[in-house]
Amino acid sequence: MARERTQLNINIDPELLMTLKSKAIKDGKTLTQYITEQLTNSPEIKKERSLEKRLLALEEYLGLSQSLPKQTKELGVIFTDDGAKKYGEVARAEFELHLRKKGLSVEEGLKELSVELKKLPDSLPELVFAILLGNHDLTGAEMTGAYRNGSCAMRSALVQWANDPLEKLNEAFLAAVITKSLI
């Protein structure tokens, strides 16, 4: 079955657009086919990598990997507190949704989720449970710490437990990034 496609509208330098069109024509492809192929085959962007690893690869690709530690020290974090709080709220909503889908009590769900968390290094189950129970608002600093460890254990465990990519949670993760740290 074909994947659903979506449209991307961007402003691009006219000369770059002409170069891309020219290369597409030379390869016997449409502009969309050519650009999709280039992005898909880019060594920096791999579909099987976690969201966090893709963000790190994007930072490296944009030449930010050298400057981010300095910026992170100046900013203290790379995620906003409001964005982190929203990310935690989305995680809680997804957890509750999948509890209902699975017909589990909160205690049963936390027990199952703890199995997934144990598989992950630096998972901080107590913090994850506090967030999912609404007893703690995730902060930008906590989110940055999880990201710098290579992945957000809460998100990874929830994805595995729910057997769902949890796109709303991915969107909330990206929305939490302090964008000026990427400039």
79 and 115 together in one domain: yes
- Residue 5 located in a structural domain: no
104 and 148 together in one domain: yes
Residues 6 or more apart whose Cβ sits within 8 Å of residue 123:
117, 153, 154, 157
37 and 117 together in one domain: no
| Calpha distance 137→121 (Å, rounded) | 22
Instruction: Please list the pLDDT of the chain residue by residue as tens digits (183 residues).
Output: 456 677 777 777 788 778 888 887 888 888 888 887 877 766 555 444 556 566 666 656 555 444 444 444 444 578 899 999 999 999 999 999 999 999 999 999 999 999 999 998 888 899 999 999 999 999 988 888 887 766 788 999 999 999 999 999 989 988 888 865 444
| Calpha distance 141→136 (Å, rounded) | 14
What is the DSSP secondary structure assignment for residue 78, as one 8-state letter? Answer: S
34 and 78 together in one domain: no
- Residue 8 located in a structural domain: no
Helix boundaries (H) for 27-132:
31-40, 51-61, 68-75, 81-102, 106-118, 125-132
132 and 174 together in one domain: yes
Q: What are the residues facing 177 on neighbouring strands?
A: 79
29 and 117 together in one domain: no
Residue 24, domain extent: 14-41
76 and 166 together in one domain: yes
Q: Number of folded domains in the chain? A: 2
In contact, 172 and 87? CB cutoff 8 Å: yes
What is the DSSP secondary structure assignment for residue 81, as one 8-state letter? Answer: H
- Residue 35 located in a structural domain: yes
31 and 77 together in one domain: no
172 and 92 together in one domain: yes
169 and 110 together in one domain: yes
What global pTM score does this model have?
Answer: 0.60
- Residue 122 located in a structural domain: yes
